[in-house]
Structure 1
Amino acid sequence: MKILFSPSETKNSGGDKKNFDKNSVIFPELFNKRLEILNSYNNFLKTATVSELEKLFGTKKYDVIEKYKMNIFKNPLLKAIQRYEGVAYDYLDYENLDESSKKYIDENVLIFSNLFGVIKASDQIPDYKLKQGETFENLKIEKFYNESFSDILDKYLEDEDILDLRAGFYEKFYTIKKPYYTMKFIKDGKVVSHFAKAYRGEILKIIAQKKINFFGELLQINIPNLNLIEIKEQGFKKEIVFIIN
């Protein structure tokens, strides 16, 4: 099973002083495609005004802007699953998982970055900042990655069961073309959005601990405080609907 996951706008600093190259990320044969976006990003940082950087980064904090306006290729590298922090990643609690669960995540989770495109949890990436939905040099980043990486992703995922835990925005980076599962969370009759991140992280942790590989195994797991009430089917998508206790 492969699990598609969202990134986070907040990142952990630090890492190893290594060069970011084609061996740092999945699909090295398309590394030059990534470089098109990354080089455009770096070039924009060199010439952007303060107001443009505030919009790009989603902050007006001077120290944050100063930190992130530097050349990202000079930043140390860290495993993607450790680079991101935020609600989903807090609930996943990767650092405190046993080694076999970490290995499962490293090998089976694909994160859809709004700057790097699709990456494996184990890929090595530098620290960066790009607010969700923002762009630079008039690029349509999600369209670029969708067009550039869809064929190779189709082949990579063709023999895998897929659980899509991405937030809606990141679905624009890749459209799944085979049956897959996703999840919805309801509390007091309303769809939960922000706190759904916590459940996505918790569910990913349970899946990793139980080493789930197939849809049938996925539907058998018990998740604390969640009751499965129905599975809605629409085209390729099977949406597992949970009520939060």
Structure 2
Amino acid sequence: MRGDPFPRLGAWVKLPAPESVELLALAGFDFAVIDAEHGAIDTRTMSTMIGLARGCGLAPFVRVAGTAPRDVQVPLDAGAAGLLVPQIEDADRARDAVRASRFPPLGGRGASTSGRAGRWGLEALGDYLRTGNEDVRLVVQAESAGALKAIAEIGEVPGVDAVFIGPTDLAVSSGFGENDSALADLIGAAERRCAEHGITLGTTASGNAAELLDSRGYSFLILGADTTMLRQAAHTLVSAVHTATTGADR
């Protein structure tokens, strides 16, 4: 998979409802990120979402809460196409993520072919180990000024496939407003370093998606969350009725 293009357009899944995954697939997204860091999603629901996404042709990623074995082992055994690991400050933290999520010799992940990742015991051990180290994507999140300054070193750690710039946590941790020019300069410098070192880069996007993909070197984007999409669509519907009925009453 590492030779293949990174899935391009994704969305966060924060609602503990497998139907969210199915709806995102029908909408044409390339991947979904099941949010086990901020979403109230238990492991049973996560596993169901991963299986459903795979059946719908949607690449299932999981944003984990950390790099403890319980954080990474369950989604990987359930067949996640990749992990997003938050709060990676430097190359040492990136190596921690690799050790937790890769099989030896890259890491120390425990092996069991009995889950979905091992085709419920049908996968040969060698193929299962190769897939876990070569095909599963490891994306580390750079979410502080220090992380962005070290982004090239982070992205070049063996076993890391991509770096994701988290603009909200970056703004909060650095004390910037989201539209602060200093924040934009910091992100721009990180983008240039990634381009120079050939590091696959992702972030969140809204109206600037085309610019990020075409001009600023990003390979993949997360366009929003199922919660936000539901709220915005509902607000649009209700506002339209309010506007129409108010106008009719005049």
| TM-score (norm: length of structure 1) | 0.28
Between Structure 1 and Structure 2, the one with more helix by share is 2
**Higher RCO (CA < 8 A, seq sep 6+):** 1
Between Structure 1 and Structure 2, the one with more strand by share is 1
